[in-house]
């Protein structure tokens, strides 16, 4: 411990050089941490469990077209189907357009079957109360915490897609598996139908839960065939079809991110090796003087290694700190636009990985010049000027 002071002062020998290499380290670790976390988050989002036996039926020509609610009749008749919930993205905001979050008009009864994996933590009584109150709504825990909402509060929702701004009473606060699931509000589908003339008898989508995921291709195909050549044709998609295309894309993103990571690692290793060898080489005489006064080779090696590792530890910690700050900002600012970013976090494994890489870089780039410096004879070192 008494040598720490010496190590610190040696590191601060050239403040400008240390500052520059530190900035380089911080930026590199930051970049790698953010990219790797992005990859991990995308991976987690695209590997959500239990979404396998749910699919969506929507208008063939896109999300802005509506299906007749009467189609639900046929859907419910299919033997593989457990439950059908009509659902419409409402796109409202609370008080201010900045306060934007996911909000849907959903069938108030069947949604609890179709989305049982996404919504939990509500009591029977709360669900009953919600279903009874046409102007009731349920909100996710994170959303409730963010705005300080409690059960019983009335909240105004201003429509942006539909000419309707309902006053909703919170009847329950639910839990989800991820932040994006809890950042959501649901209200009665019938309220939308009653409030918006052109939505009467129409819905944006039907969410359908089947007995098994193997049923989906068959039943989806049957539904689309049934409505083919009718005035309103349907298009059925597995919920994770979106994620599946996503995962495929992720393969490429993953390769790119890993490529960038390796490139940054190589670059930073070269820069650190250069800096450390310079920092050690210019101390040749000093090292000889220390050894003359009794510092052993091992002791000098230890001091030099400590210096290199201290540098990369600082760079690594500050880089990761910066990354977690940026992750928080991304979550809070961009999370409302890109839903998956609400789950953007630095995983512990990512932090450990980045810190580990920083330490390895520090180790290699210091051990090489440090060994060379301590192998040199004292007399030679004293002569070098």
Partner 1 sequence: MSQPTAPIIHIQSLAKSYFRETLEIPVLQGLDLDIPAGGFYALMGPSGSGKTTLLNLIAGIDRPTGGLLEVCGSNLNQLNDDELASWRNENIGFIFQNYNLIPVLNAFENIELPLLLTSLTRAQRKEKVEEVLSLVNLMDRRENYPRQLSGGQEQRVAIARAIVGNPKVLVADEPTGALDAKNADEILEMMQRLNEEFGKTILIVTHDPKAANCARHQVHLEKGILDKTVEVNR
The residues binding partner 1 (CB under 8 A) are 2-3, 5-6, 9-10, 12-13, 285-286, 289-299, 377-379, 382, 385
Q: How far is the CB of 276 from partner 1 (least distance, A)?
A: 16
Q: How far is the CB of 295 from partner 1 (least distance, A)?
A: 7
Our CB check for partner 1 shows the closer of 279 and 358 to be 279
Our CB check for partner 1 shows the closer of 134 and 383 to be 383
Our CB check for partner 1 shows the closer of 144 and 290 to be 290
Q: How far is the CB of 301 from partner 1 (least distance, A)?
A: 12
Query: Three-state SS string across the chain, please?
Result: CCCHHHHHHHHCCCHHHHHHHHHHHHHHHHHHHHHHHHHHHHHHHHCCCCCCCEEEEEECCCCCCCEECCHHHHHHHCCCEEEEEEEEECCCECCCCCCECEEEEECCCCHHHHCCCCCECCCHHHHHHHHHCCCEEEEEHHHHHHHCCCCCCEEECECCCCCCCCEEEEEEEEECCCHHHHCEEEEEHHHHHHHCHHHCCEECEEEEEECCCCHHHHHHHHHHHHHCCCCCCEEEEEHHHHHHHHHHHHHHHHHHHHHHHHHHHHHHHHHHHHHHHHHHHCCHHHHHHHHHCCCCHHHHHHHHHHHHHHHHHHHHHHHHHHHHHHHHHHHHHHCCCCHHHHHCCCCHHHHHHHHHHHHHHHHHHHHHHHHHHHHCCHHHHHHCC
Our CB check for partner 1 shows the closer of 244 and 384 to be 384
Our CB check for partner 1 shows the closer of 12 and 360 to be 12
Our CB check for partner 1 shows the closer of 54 and 291 to be 291
Q: How far is the CB of 307 from partner 1 (least distance, A)?
A: 11
């Amino acid at each position: 411990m008494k040598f720490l002071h010496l190590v610190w002062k040696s590191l601060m020998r050239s403040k400008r050089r240390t500052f520059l290499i530190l900035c380089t380290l911080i930026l590199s670790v930051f970049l790698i941490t953010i990219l790797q976390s992005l990859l991990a988050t995308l991976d987690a989002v695209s590997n959500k469990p239990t979404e396998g036996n749910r699919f969506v039926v929507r208008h063939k020509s896109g999300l802005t077209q509506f299906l007749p609610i009467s189609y639900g009749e046929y859907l419910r008749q299919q033997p593989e189907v457990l439950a059908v919930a009509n659902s419409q993205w409402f796109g409202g905001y609370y008080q201010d357009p900045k306060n934007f979050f996911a909000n849907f008009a959903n069938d108030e009864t069947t949604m609890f079957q179709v989305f049982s994996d996404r919504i939990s933590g509500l009591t029977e009584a709360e669900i009953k109360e919600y279903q009874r109150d046409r102007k009731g709504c349920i909100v996710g825990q994170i959303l409730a915490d963010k705005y300080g909402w409690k059960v019983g509060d009335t909240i105004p929702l201003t429509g942006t897609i539909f000419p309707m701004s309902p006053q909703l009473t919170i009847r329950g606060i639910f839990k989800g598996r991820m932040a994006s699931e809890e950042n959501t509000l649901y209200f009665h589908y019938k309220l939308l139908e009653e409030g918006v003339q052109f939505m009467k008898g129409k819905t944006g989508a039907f969410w359908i839960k089947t007995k098994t995921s193997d049923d989906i291709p068959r039943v989806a195909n049957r539904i689309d065939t049934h409505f083919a050549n009718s005035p309103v044709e349907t298009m059925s998609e597995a919920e994770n079809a979106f994620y599946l295309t996503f995962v495929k894309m992720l393969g490429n993103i993953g390769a790119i991110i890993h490529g960038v990571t390796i490139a940054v690692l190589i670059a930073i290793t070269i820069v650190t090796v250069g800096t450390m060898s310079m920092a050690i080489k210019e101390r040749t005489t000093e090292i000889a003087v220390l050894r003359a006064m009794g510092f052993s080779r091992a002791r000098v090696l230890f001091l030099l290694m400590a210096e290199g590792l201290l540098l990369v530890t600082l760079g690594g910690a500050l880089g990761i700190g910066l990354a977690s700050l940026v992750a928080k900002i991304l979550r809070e600012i961009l999370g409302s636009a890109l839903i998956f970013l609400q789950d953007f976090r630095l995983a512990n494994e990512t932090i450990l990985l980045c810190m580990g890489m920083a330490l390895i870089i520090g180790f290699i780039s210091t051990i090489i010049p440090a060994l060379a410096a301590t192998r040199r004879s004292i007399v030679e070192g004293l002569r070098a000027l």
